[in-house]
């Protein structure tokens, strides 16, 4: 079971590493970070670099595709090499997935038309522009398409997908090993829960959701 | 505010990237991944490589130190270069922190004597061997020492630390931006909650907690 995780300049690190940390622990999983070119790719803040070990051209039939988001997603919308690759691998994938604004890339590839999907809360409106039906849910399954909300939601998506792929017992086993028993010290992780003025500030000022 | 995140061969990716994703978003934060040598370091599964941008020798006075864990922690217990560095930077740090079995490295450096601390649930007993008082809590503050439980707990630690450093409003703002509103599909993230047979299996079989 090959799991291809896409990288591009200015991706958001946790979007990629959250699902990686879960899915890479499944029996038979072979994960590969892929990008247009191999080598290190810098994240949104520039302080972190993850290595792409194979090119898009080298990975032709992954079983699972994971597309992260981040500010770097915007220029990728016009990257025909990536968009064409997404369409091509989707033709044979078992699961096509995204975290955060990665769903906008799936949308740009025409893969979410008429499908329920999600994205970072600041990008839900844009998602509708690709014919998807945006939901405010954290993890959305529609057929083989699985989209997750902002950044940290990829861990929840990874576990939900792990259950579908390998069964509840294996998914619980991974959850126990990564000790995923979240206890956030605040309850501000969604626009419904955060202080209204913070939400309004982001809506007004953020043109590049992360 | 310089935040140094330590890397070594066979670290666990989310241990490092969880707190990174939170702390790197604080105002004035300058994050740097450090290791004995610069360049890519492979994680526990080998499928992921993060780049160390500076050597331990180059980073002498970080304000915050973050030490991840993973199977590669074991050989690092005898790495005098790293252990000496931990002692040296701790002399001037504002916060000295760890995720997962990273706390065993702080313990080996003699930094947790008589302090309440935590680690991956499979490593709590070993932590006691360094004179620490192991707790089953997810995030433990004792003076400037902050230790977190296994893997995913570094996100909660990052947010708790963000609140101490930059105030509740900023911490909530980061939580909203990374949309950290966890909704795990299972409730098996701690040995108290997971099926007893899974816990027993790990206790029997795992000598290298991740």
**A200 vs B: CB within 8 A:** no
Q: How many CB atoms lie within 10 A of CB B163?
A: 18
Q: B194 Cβ partners below 8 Å, 6+ apart?
A: A172, A173, A175, A176, B188
Buried b (16+ CB within 10 A) or exposed e, B143-159: eebbbbbbbbbbbbbbb
How does DSSP classify residue B121? G
CB nearest to B176's CB, from A155, A177, A189: A189
Q: Report the distance separating Cα A204 and Cα A183, nearest Å.
A: 30
Beta strands in B80-183 (DSSP E): 95-99, 116-117, 133-134, 139-142, 145-148
Say whether B18 sits in a helix, a strand or coil. helix
Instruction: For residue A80, give the H/E element and its range.
Output: helix A80-90
Buried b (16+ CB within 10 A) or exposed e, B175-210: bbbbbbbbbbbbebbbbeebeeebbeebeeeeeebb
Say whether B69 sits in a helix, a strand or coil. coil
Q: How far is A71 from chain B (nearest CA, A)?
A: 12
Q: Report the distance separating Cα B96 and Cα B98, nearest Å.
A: 7
Mean pLDDT across chain A: 96
Q: B172 Cβ partners below 8 Å, 6+ apart?
A: A186, A188, A194, A195, A198
Q: How far is B109 from chain A (nearest CA, A)?
A: 25
Q: Report the distance separating Cα A2 and Cα B93, nearest Å.
A: 42
- A140 within 8 A of A117, measured Cβ to Cβ: yes
**In 3D, which of A87, A140, A129 has the Cα closest to residue A104?**
A129
**DSSP state letters, A172-204:** HHHHHHTT-----SSS-SSTTTS-HHHHHHHHH
pLDDT in tens, A59-81: 999 999 999 999 999 999 999 99
Nearest residue on chain A to B183, alpha-carbon basis: A156
pLDDT in tens, B160-175: 999 999 999 999 999 9
* Percentage of chain B exceeding pLDDT 70: 98
pLDDT-derived band at B210, boundaries 50, 70, 90:
very low
**A54 vs B: CB within 8 A:** no
Interface of B with A in 60-99 (CB under 8 A): none
- B3 within 8 A of B30, measured Cβ to Cβ: yes
CB contact under 8 A, A33 and B47: yes
Tell me which chain B residues have a C-beta less than 8 angstroms from the C-beta of A17: 13-14, 17, 48
Mean pLDDT across chain B: 96
CB contact under 8 A, A21 and B32: no
pLDDT > 60? residue B208: no
pLDDT computed for residue B143 by the predictor: 98
**Residue that has been written with the tokens 């939170």 in this structure:** B22
User: Crossing angle, helix B13-23 and helix A13-23, to 10 degrees?
Assistant: 160
**B21 vs A: CB within 8 A:** yes
**DSSP state letters, A7-64:** --TTB-HHHHHHHHHHHTTSTT-EEEEEESSSEEEEBTTSS-EEEE-EEGGG----SE
Whether pTM > 0.90 for this model: the answer is yes
pLDDT in tens, A150-206: 999 999 999 999 999 999 999 999 999 999 999 999 999 999 999 999 999 999 986
Angle at B156 between CA B150 and CA B160, to 5 degrees: 130
User: Crossing angle, helix A13-23 and helix A153-166, to 10 degrees?
Assistant: 20
Torsion of CA B103, A21, B39, A101, to 10 degrees: -120
pLDDT in tens, B73-110: 999 999 999 999 999 999 999 999 999 999 999 999 99
Instruction: For residue B30, give the H/E element and its range.
Output: strand B30-35
**Structural domains in chain B, sorted by start:** 2-182 (3.40.50.880)
Q: What is the ipTM, given to two decimal places?
A: 0.96
pLDDT > 70? residue A45: yes
């Amino acid at each position: 079971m090959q799991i291809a995780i896409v990288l591009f300049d200015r991706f958001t690190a946790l979007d990629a590493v959250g699902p990686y940390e879960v899915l890479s622990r499944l029996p038979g999983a072979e994960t590969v970070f892929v990008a247009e070119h191999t080598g290190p790719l810098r994240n949104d803040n520039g302080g972190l670099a993850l290595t792409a070990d194979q090119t898009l051209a080298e990975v032709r039939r992954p079983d699972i595709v994971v597309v992260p988001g981040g500010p770097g997603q915007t220029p990728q919308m016009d990257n025909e090499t990536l968009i064409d690759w997404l369409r091509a691998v989707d033709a044979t994938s078992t699961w096509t997935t995204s975290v955060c604004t990665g769903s906008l890339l799936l949308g740009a590839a025409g893969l979410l038309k008429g499908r329920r999907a999600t994205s970072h809360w600041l990008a839900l409106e844009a998602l509708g522009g690709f014919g998807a039906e945006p939901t405010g849910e954290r993890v959305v399954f529609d057929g083989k398409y699985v989209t997750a909300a902002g950044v940290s939601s990829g861990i929840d998506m990874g576990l939900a997908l792990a259950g579908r792929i390998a069964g509840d017992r294996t998914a619980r086993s991974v959850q126990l090993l990564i000790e995923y028993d979240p206890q956030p010290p605040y309850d501000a992780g969604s626009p419904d829960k955060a202080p209204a003025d913070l939400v309004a500030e982001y809506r007004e000022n953020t043109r590049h959701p992360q």
